[in-house]
Every structure is written in structure tokens, then in C-alpha cells.
Amino acid sequence: MEVKDALIQYCLRLGDDAMIMGHRLSELCSNGPILEEDIAMTNISLDLFGQTRIIYTYAAELEGKGRSEDDLAYLRPEHEFQCALLTEQPNGHFGNTMARQMIFSVFYYHLFKELSKSPDESLAAFAAKSLKETTYHMRHACEWVVRLGDGTEESKWKIQDALNDIWSYHHELFEKDEVDEKLIDMGIITDTATIADDFYASVNEVIERATLGTPAGGWKATGGRSGRHSEYLGHILSVFQSLPRAYPDAKW
Amino acid sequence: MEAAQVPVIRENTEAIWEVLETIPDPEIPVISVVELGVVRDVLLEENKTQVIITPTYSGCPAMKQFEDDIVSTLESKGFPTVEVKMVFSPAWTTDWMTNVAREKLRRYGIAPPQKGSQDKGVLFDSGPKAVNCPQCNSSATELLSQFGSTACKAVYKCKDCQETFDYFKCI
């Protein structure tokens, strides 16, 4: 695999994760449990869409086939998306949303810290920019996990169940295939294994402060990085892509 | 001061910077795009004007408006073909905001960002401890939400005058 091809795929994965996660949070617009959280989650969603645009634009530029960020978002079929299955999982109740967000943003916080040192200037700039935003997302989610865990009896079992359920999906974030191997060999990205300790330390700190139990091992979800998705992605795309597919080249 | 904090004004571009200083932030019209720190460089060539900007937040919906306003204002003043180019590095920080701009924000009712306060507790942080109320200047304020009417603002409440207010958060 050529380095350039690997980098394109890697950027698409970063973008797909951010976009699908952003879409899930945008579904809470006007549906948040309280006004402040409605606003918080749509703000986070907006940051994620902004990150998506930056990295898709770079991927399209590297590809050089005349595709735009919009083409990548709106005109690719389901199996060409390489988002982690975690990002597709439904919002469920607020505890499910926050458990998912905590894992997602803690992982990306540590990843972006490393990627911001990449010798690839565009990737490093994207990561440095995203890191600042992700820090706020992470604090927001971590604080909610603590409030729910160390809250009422009901909020406690709900967030514990949510954490146990989503835990099976975190392993995929650390997966590596030939795309990652190539970029690690070339020194362009960091091996996710090097951020594993920091990731688990952060998650454990949250769990401890939330007076929760460590989520059980269980099974490991996989498939997203090779385009094999859960049922949910098709439904997401059918909503997300409906307008540009029904009205090709529609302009605002 | 970081090297990147104050953009270098190139020869022949002073007039362009003066015009840019009159273009307001579309969402916070009391400060200009220059005071906000999003304009990073200006280049004037024989038949082309290039303005380099950086976004505040990746998803800030005002950026398109910034671009349109910069192009239309400069072109209406007779500058040749205006192009706006977006860069992402170095990433924008509230530390680039001038003291004058901070004071304007405060008068407008938005508590200005506190300088150099990015290295706080990482996983948990309830925001700066003393954000003074822009209305009554009381320091008895509390954070209501880290996310407000725009991505760049948090919502605080003053325990003295009871007003809720926006705080331009540090990034």
C-alpha cells in the first residue's frame, strides 16, 4: 500500500468517526433532556462537523480526483464508510449518550495529542485544532458520568449499564490494519497502543470518581474500519444523505 | 507573547488592515475580525489581494460570513480581486484577543476570556474559578453550562445581581 493511499484512508476514518458521531448528537437537537444539554450536545455536534470538513477536505485534496468534502459526506454508500461501530450506536437514554461520548472523547483527546506532533503538517494542524475542542467535549462527558454515577440509585444503575453496554465497542478504536501499519512505519501517526495506558487511566479515573464498577470484558465489536457496519449506519445515512440524493447538486 | 500572536503587517497592506478593522464579527458586532484574532496575514499583489484567516472553532458557522464580509468590503473599497484563504495552524486561541477587545466584550455583556488558562485539570474542570459578572462586576458567579449560544461561549450566572451571562471561554 502506498503511503498516500494509506493517509487518505486514515483521514477518511477520522472524518467518518467525527461525522457519524456528530450526526448522532445532532439528533438530540430539540430533544435534549434539558435546554442546557440540548445546546451542549448540538454545540459538540457542530465542532465535530467542523472537524469532519477539515479532514475530508484534506482527504479529497490528497486523492486529487476532484471530489469535494460534500461528495465524501453525501455520496458514498454505506460500505465505503469506515467509522468505528461505537459512533453509530443509538443515543438511547442520556446515560447511554454520555457513556458513549466519554469513551469517544477520551480516546480522541489522547490520540489528537499524539497526532498534533505528526510530521504531516495538515494532519498535525487538524489534530491540534481538534484537541482544543475535544478537551471541552471530554470534560463535559466525564463530569456527567460522575454526576450520574454518584447520583441517585436509578441514575447509578443506568449509567453503569450504559457503560457496560458500550464497553464492547471501545476496542475497535485501538484496532490496526495495513493502513495504520503503513503510517506507523513511516512515522506519520502514532501506534494507538502507545495511548492505551493513558486512555485506560483516564477512564478509570472517571469510573472511580463516579463510584462505578469497571465494565466487564465481554465481547469485542469489530468491522467498521473495513466497512462492515451495524444496522444503524444505513438508517443514519438514509436520513443524512436524503436531500443531496433526491436533489443532486442542490445549493443553498 | 507567542510569536504567532500578533500578525506581521506587510508593507503596502496597512490600508487593507485598516479596512479589516472595520469589519465586525457577525455574531459579536462590537469587536472586529482583526481584534478577534482570526486575520493572520494579508498579501497584496499587483492584481490580487489575499487575506489569510483561521477559524475560531472548526465548526463555527460564522466563518463563511467572515469570508463573504471580507471579500465584499475590500472589493467595495477598490482592492483588486480578493481571495480569502483558511489556515488551521497555528490553531486560534483566545489569548490572541487584545485587551481592548476584551474590554469591549465586557461592556457588551460578555465576560472576556481569561488569559493563559488552558492548562487546567484535564478530565474535570468547571471553568475558571473567578469569572466576574460583566453587569455588576461581582466575583460571586457560577457556571451553568460549558456550552452556550455559540461554541465559543459558556453560560454563567451571577449570584449577586442574578443575571445569567455569557463567558467567552478559553481555548
pLDDT confidence of residue A95: 97
The verdict on residue A251 lying in a domain is no
Cβ burial A118-127 (10 Å sphere, 16+ → b, else e): bebebbbbbb
**CB B89 to CB A121 under 8 A?**
yes
pLDDT at B3 over 60: no
Per the domain annotation, does A194 fall within a domain? yes
A133 to chain B, any CB pair closer than 8 A? The answer is yes
Q: Which CATH class is domain B14-92?
A: alpha beta
In a domain, residue A103? The reply is: yes
Chain A residues with CB-CB distance to B151 below 8 A: 43, 46-47, 133
Tell whether A26 lies on the interface with B, counting CB pairs under 8 A.
Answer: no
Query: Are A36 and B57 in contact (CB < 8 Å)?
Result: no
Question: In this structure, is residue A252 part of a structural domain?
Answer: no
Residue B119 has pLDDT above 50, yes or no: no
Contacts of B59 in chain A (CB under 8 A): 46-51, 53
Rounded distance between C-alpha atoms, residue A50 and residue B61, angstroms: 9
- The yes-or-no verdict on residue A199 having pLDDT over 90 is yes
The domain locations on chain B are 14-92, 110-168
Nearest to B59 among A36, A49, A205 (CB): A49
3-state secondary structure (DSSP) of residue B43? strand
Residue A154 phi, psi (nearest 5) = -70, -45
Its ipTM equals 0.87
Residue of A nearest to B151 (CA): A43
A199-224 burial, b for 16+ CB within 10 Å, e for fewer? beebbebbbebbebeebeeeeebeeb
**Which amino acid belongs to residue A240?**
F
Residue A19 in this model has a pLDDT that exceeds 70:
yes
Q: Is A210 helix (H, G, I), strand (E, B) or coil?
A: coil
Identify all chain B residues contacting A103, using CB atoms and an 8 Å cutoff: none
Q: Does B124 touch chain A (CB under 8 A)?
A: yes
Interface probe for A, chosen from B2, B58, B63 (most Cβ of A below 10 Å), is B58
In chain B, what residues touch A53 (CB-CB under 8 Å)? Answer: 58-59
Using the predicted structure, report yes or no on whether residue B150 has a pLDDT greater than 90.
no
Which backbone phi and psi does B20 adopt, to 5 degrees?
-60, -35
Give the number of domains in chain A: 1
A135: which chain B residues are within 8 Å (Cβ-Cβ)?
122
- Predicted local confidence at residue B31, as pLDDT: 93
CA neighbor of A93 nearest in space, from A148, A46, A133:
A148
Neighbours of A10 (CB within 10 A): 22
CA A244, CA A251: separation in Å to the nearest integer? 9
Examine the pLDDT at A182 and tell me if it is beyond 90.
yes
Q: Provide mean pLDDT across the span B84-97.
A: 91
Quick one: residue B116, left, alpha or beta (phi over 0 = left, psi -120 to 50 = alpha)?
A: left
- Asked if A163 and A99 count as a contact pair (C-beta separation under 8 A), the reply is yes
pLDDT per position as a tens digit, A105-141 = 999 999 999 999 999 999 999 999 999 999 999 999 9
Measure CA A114 to chain center.
16
Q: Please list every residue in chain A whose beta carbon sits closer than 8 Å to the beta carbon of residue B169.
A: 136
Q: Are the C-beta atoms of residues B1 and B90 closer than 8 Å to each other?
A: no
Q: What's the rounded mean pLDDT across residues A18-31?
A: 96
Q: What CATH number did the domain enclosing A169 receive?
A: 1.20.1260.10
Q: Are A99 and A162 in contact (CB under 8 A)?
A: yes
CA distances from A1 to A55, A163, A234 (A): 21, 37, 29
Q: In this model, does residue B120 exceed pLDDT 90?
A: no
Q: Does B148 touch chain A (CB under 8 A)?
A: yes
- pLDDT surpassing 50 at residue A37: yes
Greater pLDDT, B3 or A101: A101
In this predicted structure, which of A118-132, A202-216, B117-131 has the lowest mean pLDDT? B117-131
Give yes or no for B46 touching A (CB within 8 A).
no
What is the rounded average pLDDT for all residues in chain A? 96
Give the per-residue pLDDT at B118.
52
Task: Note down the domain range covering A122.
Answer: 3-213+222-246
Q: What's the pLDDT tens digit per position in A55-108?
A: 999 999 999 999 999 999 999 999 999 999 999 999 999 999 999 999 999 999
Q: Nearest CA to B91 among A61, A50, A127, A137?
A: A127
At A169 the three-state DSSP class reads: coil
Residue A227, pLDDT score: 97
A44 occurs within a structural domain: yes
Which residue has 466497512 as its cell numbers? A227
A34 touches chain B (CB under 8 A): no
